[in-house]
């Protein structure tokens, strides 16, 4: 791993930060589920997303990390909070939760956990063994060249889809146009 990194850019305390960030992600994930108050859940989700951005940074993907912060933590979650705060929380808290599906949830959790354990045990043979080549210095530039060169068509299709979604949202929200 050390050879792949440019000289002078040695990461500091990698293991410590990995465990710190993944621990934060897991903890906030748990909080998202167990907190009764939806605002607390949303805040926990924000912390989880930020910790994830930190993990992306450790994987030498600064662009993804930046986009994660701007889009998820800065944009989408603010809208989430906005909507939650406008809803009458006290009434919704008093209402009975009717989706008691803990048995199904438990089964799904066991299945997913089993999958993780299998991957952890057999992972060496399942995935090709290759050391990733981190390109920290011009990661963003390479993403740009890829998106607007090789994958131009797919990128434009995706942006057209988003445009359709925006127009659809406006049409649905506004009664008289």
Binding site for another protein (CB under 8 A): 8-10, 12, 37, 39-40, 43, 46, 62-63, 65-67, 69-70, 73-75, 77-79, 81-82, 85-86, 136-141, 144-145
Token pair for residue 103?
A: 């048995």
Nearest to 56, CA basis, from 139, 128, 117, 116: 139
Rounded-to-integer distance, Cα 121 and Cα 116, Å = 9
Give whichever of 94 and 124 is closer to another protein, judged by the CB atom: 94
Residues near 109 by beta carbon (within 8 Å), at least 6 away in sequence: none
| Smallest distance from another protein to CB 89, Å | 9
| Smallest distance from another protein to CB 96, Å | 23
Rounded-to-integer distance, Cα 128 and Cα 80, Å = 39
Give whichever of 22 and 84 is closer to another protein, judged by the CB atom: 84
Rounded-to-integer distance, Cα 33 and Cα 20, Å = 20
| Smallest distance from another protein to CB 110, Å | 32
| Smallest distance from another protein to CB 22, Å | 20
């Amino acid at each position: 791993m050390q050879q792949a990194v440019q000289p002078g850019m040695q990461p500091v305390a990698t293991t410590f930060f990995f465990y710190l960030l993944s621990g934060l992600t897991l903890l906030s994930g748990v909080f998202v589920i167990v907190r009764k108050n939806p605002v607390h859940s949303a805040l926990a989700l924000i912390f989880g997303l930020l910790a994830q951005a930190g993990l992306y940074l450790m994987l030498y993907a600064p662009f993804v990390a930046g986009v994660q912060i701007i889009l998820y933590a800065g944009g989408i979650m603010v809208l989430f909070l906005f909507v939650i705060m406008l809803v009458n929380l006290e009434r919704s808290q008093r209402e009975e939760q009717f989706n008691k599906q803990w048995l199904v949830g438990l089964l799904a959790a066991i299945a997913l956990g089993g999958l993780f354990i299998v991957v952890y045990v057999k992972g060496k043979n399942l995935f090709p063994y290759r050391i990733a080549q981190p390109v920290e210095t011009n990661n963003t530039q390479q993403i740009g060249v890829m998106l607007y060169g090789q994958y131009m068509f797919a990128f434009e299709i995706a942006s057209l889809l988003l445009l359709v979604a925006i127009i659809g949202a406006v049409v649905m929200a506004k009664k008289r146009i």
